[in-house]
Structure 1
Amino acid sequence: MAPGDGIASSDEVRAAAEIAADHLILFDMDRLAVENGSVISSALFGALAGSGALPFPRAAFEEAIRASGKGVEASLRAFGAAYARAQAKSDETAPSRPVAPITQTQPAQGPARQVQHWQELAAQAEALPGADMALRGLRRVVAFQDLAYGREYLSHLTAFARQDSGDGRLAEAAAKHIANAMCYDDIIRVADLKTRKSRFDRIQTEMKAEEKPVLLTEFFHPRGEEIISLLPARLGAWIESRPKLAAWIDRRLNKGRRIRTHRLRGFVLLYLIAGLRRTRRYSLRHKIEQAHLQNWLSLCQQTLPQKYDLAIEILLCRRLIKGYSDTHSRGLSKFSRIMETLPLLAHRDDAAEWVARLRTAALQDAEGKDLEGAIETVISFSSTVPATPPP
């Protein structure tokens, strides 16, 4: 799958569906299911039954729902509504982009001193251009690490906000992507997310389990280098400088593991890993990420006075880096390739447009062939030899 937000053009999806399907039944099944107090699978089941594609009467489908014994009445309502829509052969055009849900944030809770510190940081964020995005970024950074990390975030962000031209583009791009860069994905963060009470509550609600126990099995497949990156920076670097030792560690740790977090042993294991957040600042991974962050921000700051739009595009390129393990490596490789190409574009008036094209090419193709093709185009019209690639 290509990197990015995973959202394809609705028009393209619809066109492909119309070509592939003998008869297209298209409507918002998730909304219909929610309106009837059920889940989307009930609506999908009803649409399938109503399409007439399978040689079974409606009663057979309904009997299958009753046999499940879970949420029968709500499932039958959603099934019936979807069945009627499919029978009517009506469809609707889906919106080109999903509407982001409006989330209500809970007031800060905790020791009085920390709450006061948070309120001071939040007030600083609200005073910046693009305050909404700045506050979102601050919440994310503090949740990732701590209040001191949030203060670092605002320090980085303020340097860009002061140079915003007034249209808010620079401030918003900086607020979003600096937060993303500071909240990198590592095993600690994954373990933290998987042991949060809010996650268990959400799963309980979505499964309509009520008071019944939910059995959860998490799949982990960390590589040796990800474990090494959690070690203190000097020790981790020492191990990485010895390929045979690093390979030996990888052979013993690079295995898929199924961890049952509904059991005490599995939950405690992930909870303890999440607790390593206190030592994250001293880890090899954090040292590497901080160096990368500083180099990226320095490049943006150096570009700003001469090419405002190009600096924004450099900020937006951070979108390519996400996830961990192989996903992170691929994204980082594409980001680096674009940064290496910048010297070929720096003298051009349309440099920002070309960086945007390179980023789009990188997002469209998981293997990177489109990006390499676009870079070849840049090289073909450039008469200069690339300088030393920026870090």
Structure 2
Amino acid sequence: MNKVQPIKIAILAMGGEGGGVLADWIVDLGEHNGYFAQTTSVPGVAQRTGATIYYVELLPGAHESAARRPVLALMPMPGDVDVVLCSELMEAGRAVQRGLVTPDRTALLTSTHRVYSIGEKAAMGDGRVDSNVLLEHATKASKRLVSFDMAQAAEQTGSVISAVLFGALCGTGVLPFDRAQFEATIERGGVGVKPSLKAFDRGCAEAMGTSLAKPAPVAKAVGTPKSPAVAALLQRVDRTVPPQARTIVVEGVRRLVDYQDARYASLYLDRIEVLMRQPGGRDATLLQETARHLALWMSYEDTIRVADLKTRDTRFDRVRQEVRAKSDQLVRINEFMHPRIEEICETLPAGLGRWLAQPHGIHRWVKRMTAQGRVVRTSSLPGFVLLWTLARWRRGRRTTLRYALENERIERWLHRIYALAGTHPALALEVARCQRLVKGYGDTHARGLKNYETLMAVLDRHQAALAPATLGELRDAALADEQGLRLHNTLQRLALV
């Protein structure tokens, strides 16, 4: 006689997404319908907000009079799991990597939205994992895959992902319980029943392929700007920029108007037009890439920009939405700020900033005062006014030391592109893309700038004799690690030191 095996379910969820509630629902569902049930959890703290693996086993026979309490396992084993539930796509990838998902047995249910990992966020280049690749591996690894944006479904129904996952679990039919038994489990919980049932219904319908959810609204076309100066800039783009680069240049104009003003965006267009007058400067790819990276560089992150972004009303609204604060709840926002002496000098007018940057008593005193950093509560009046005042200093940004330094760097970068556009367009394109190294602020900016200047020194020494692919390889090496070890090794291997 075959021994009855338990149903084995693994739940991979991040903190705050209701993974524990989902596990408890499954246990309650089993216990109220004649099953022995057990749940355990293994918390993790090395990822985003701390991912946890919950493990549930269900074994029939609890209502039998002679039944004895079975010994159930405490954690999932590779190749021995029937159902895997994941609250985020990377967690599905981790489940596949751990061997919890197998093509002959496992039903995999996952949300397709992404919460980027620390490794992805900290990468100096684009460290994001391709979601399509994750889904492809998940499809191949599982017996059945159910995947859709559960975060969006939870948001639209006013609930949490755990309720959507519970509905999807019902819709797949992989457990021996009917829909009424699932819904009764939520009702017994007694908390947030209506939104949870609504989210459950949405998840069940998605899993069964019968969802009637409305598609996301299509963004409306942006009308004529209210500002005559901005309207004039956009008309200038239409007159002067080729169609293939027009979309990128328009976005660059909008970004720089938001960053500074219309006059600053006009400088951006001046620089684009200078490129187009150069031999080879109207090459579509070179024009697009230079326009994109020029807009990014001209909107460099200084203390003024950081203060501006942190005091915008849209940011406060976004934080309240992310923490799901009710209208009558207070939300406190603490900003952990650690400006270096360099950031302070660069925020001052150029002459004063250069003086403070010199090694003298006042320089040492300011450096000592900023060594520990501080916490600024932007949800309080003093903290908000402090950053708001700093953000208003953008009116004087053109006088600052940072502005002078960045403008000089941008002009040198552009002149290299101008010089190579006609004679060596492939190399000019790689020079344009080297701007990727210069980003962020503080130590991140300093490291990236150092690597960028190393690459430009190599370019200046070898001029057009440097192969475009070699410069691209050096750039990728510079983006590979913060310490610059990969770049150093690559320079040595190519004998470019």
TM-score bracket, normalised by the shorter chain, equals: 0.7 to 0.9
Secondary structure at the aligned position of 2:376 is classed as strand
Residue 441 of structure 2 is matched in structure 1 by: 324
* Greater gyration radius: 2
Query: What are the residue-to-residue correspondences of 1:183-198 with 2, within 5 Å?
Result: 183-198=299-314
* CA RMSD, 1 decimal: 3.8
Q: CA deviation at 1:369?
A: 2.1
Cross-structure match for 1:4: 125
Distance 1:282 1:332, change over 3 A: same
The Cα shift of 1:306 comes to 1.5
User: What is the DSSP-based 3-state SS (H/G/I as helix, E as strand, rest coil) of the residue aligned with 2:327?
Assistant: coil
2:451 aligned to which of 312, 325, 334: 334
Match 1:180 to one of 296, 301, 306: 296
Query: How far, CA to CA, are the matches of 2:440 and 2:166 in structure 1?
Result: 33
Structure 2 residue aligned with 1:367: 483
Higher relative contact order (CA 8 A, sep 6+): 1
Q: Does 1:123 align with 2:235?
A: yes
Question: In the TM superposition, what is the alpha-carbon distance from 1:243 to its structure 2 partner?
Answer: 5.5
The one-character-per-residue Cα deviations of 1:63-88 (angstroms, maximum 9, x if unpaired) are 89864x5xx644554456558989x9
2:126 maps to a residue whose letter is D
Question: 2:281, 2:422 within 8 Å by CA — same for their partners in 1?
Answer: no
Structure 2 Cα separation of the partners of residues 327 and 24 of structure 1: 40
1:144 aligned residue:
259
1:232 equivalenced with 2:328 (yes/no): no
Question: Quick one: which amino acid aligns to residue 480 of structure 2?
Answer: Q
Residue type of the alignment partner of 1:6: G
Shift of 1:281: 0.8
Q: Deviations over 1:269-306 (max 9, x none)?
A: 21111001011111111111111111111121122221
Aligned positions of 1:127-276 closer than 5 A = 127=239, 128-129=241-242, 130-163=245-278, 167-209=283-325, 211-221=327-337, 222-242=339-359, 245-276=362-393
Deviations, residues 43-67 of structure 1 (Å, cap 9, x unaligned): 5787899999xxxx97999589864
Whichever residue aligns with residue 247 of structure 1, its letter is R
SS in 1 for 2:418: helix
Instruction: Flag the structure with higher strand content.
Output: 2
Per the alignment, do residues 14 and 251 of structure 1 end up closer, same or farther by CA in structure 2, a change over 3 Å counting? farther
Deviation readout 1:344-387 (Å, 9 max, x if unpaired): 65344x711111222222223233222222222321xx6xxx7x
Structure 1 unaligned spans of 5+ = 91-100, 110-114, 387-391
Q: Which amino acid aligns with 2:254?
A: R
Residues 338 and 359 of structure 1 are in contact (CA less than 8 Å); yes or no, is this contact kept in structure 2?
yes
Partner SS for 1:219: strand
Residues 72-117 of structure 1, C-alpha deviation per residue, up to 9 Å, x if partnerless? 644554456558989x9x9xxxxxxxxxx968546533xxxxx222
Distance in 2 (CA, whole Å) between partners of 1:83 and 1:125 is 49
User: Which deviates the most, 32-41 or 208-217?
Assistant: 32-41
Whether contact under 8 Å (1:181, 1:318) holds in the other structure is yes
Q: C-alpha displacement at 1:176, in angstroms?
A: 0.8
Deviation of 1:149 (Å): 0.7
**In 2, Cα distance between equivalents of 1:259 and 1:59:** 46
Q: State the distance in 2 between where 1:61 and 1:240 align.
A: 66
For the residues of structure 1 that align with 2:375 and 2:405, how far apart are their CA atoms?
A: 29
Query: How far has the Cα of 1:174 moved from its partner?
Result: 1.5
1:240 touches 1:246 (CA, 8 Å); kept in 2? Answer: yes
